[in-house]
Structure 1
Amino acid sequence: MIIDILNNAKRYSGLHPNFKKAFDYLSQNDLNNLEPGSFEIAEGLKVIVISGEGTTREESIKGFECHDQNIDIQYSINGPETFAWKPREKCVNPNGEYSDEKDVRFFHDKPDTFFELQEGQFCILFPEDVHAAMIGEGIIKKIVIKVKIK
């Protein structure tokens, strides 16, 4: 997992061929005026704009998840937004089967830690990062960019 600000995003461009395109999208668009929804910006890059009421830690971790086929870049348009996190290798209580169609695997495990993103910050969540998001009060607006691994 990586947490940083958009001004430092170029440091991570070498980690995946599509990271530069993803960060260019975040820096070159008026994110505040994007409507909720999802769309593809390039092959292997899907943008999901989310705007919704924050939730409690207890509610959020019911969706404690990770992905096998995608890396998440989650960017806070307005926050704060709190995330739950735990390394996948320490998760031992699956919650159902992996969904290849939705690329999601859920766990009943408890998070090891919580962290907070402020407006303008992002986190990169790799397949080994089990996470739950949207923890907070009021309306949280964010962008999740799904970066296809292969």
Structure 2
Amino acid sequence: MFFSNIKIAEKYNYLEEKFTCAYKWLAETDLEALPVGSYPIMGDTVVANIQEYTTFPADQGSFETHEKYFDIQYVVKGREQFGVCKRDGLVEKERIEENDLIFYEEPEFSGSVFLDEGDLIIVAPEDAHKPRCQAGGPCQVKKVVVKVAL
């Protein structure tokens, strides 16, 4: 899936080497066997973070963005609703510089994408996203979030 506004659609090349090496790593690695942790793929330019968690109601989460990295969020096991909206116009509520993380107040309008096992979504710095939301009820999820430096 590719989610973008036409104004920035050509700004990034989602097939350049740093992305293709991430896709290859996701396809060829036994992700179910890897424990929670961080795994360098291409130095500190592309790093995979294995996470495990239980999804929660969407109203308990917040939209977030990153300024230095893209996220490639890939579901290994489980399922979740993944909130998406444009970053423009959002009201910032918290910034954690050391984690490249900005949280926002709930926007008036947003959408979501259902992510099932084997699904991935790529979010650019211009994309706000709300991960870990329930899809019908709580679910144990194992996910890889690949951080790809700008």
Q: TM-score, normalised by structure 2?
A: 0.83
Q: Structure 1 residues 33 and 15 mapped into 2: Cα distance closer, same or farther (>3 Å)?
A: same
Distance apart, 1:14 and its partner CA: 4.9
What stretches of structure 2 of length at least 5 have no aligned partner? 4-11
Look up the match of 2:73: 74
What stretches of structure 1 of length at least 5 have no aligned partner? 4-11
Aligned residues of 2:79 and 2:139 also touching (Cα < 8 A): no
With 122-131 and 74-83 compared, the bigger mean Cα shift is at 74-83
1: distance between equivalents of 2:101 and 2:15? 22
Look up the match of 2:9: none
Equivalent residue runs for 1:16-35 within 5 Å: 16-35=16-35
The structure with the greater share of residues assigned to helix is 1
Distance apart, 1:39 and its partner CA: 2.6
Equivalent residue runs for 1:123-134 within 5 Å: 123-134=121-132
Distance apart, 1:13 and its partner CA: 7.1
Match of 1:120 among 115, 118, 121: 118
Q: TM-score, normalised by structure 1?
A: 0.83
1:17-38 superposed Cα distances (whole Å, 9 cap, x missing partner): 3001101110111111111111
> CA-atom RMSD, angstroms?
1.9
Count of aligned pairs: 137
Equivalent residue runs for 1:1-150 within 5 Å: 2=2, 14-43=14-43, 44-61=45-62, 64-91=63-90, 93-96=91-94, 98-110=95-107, 112-136=110-134, 137-149=138-150
Distance apart, 1:115 and its partner CA: 1.3
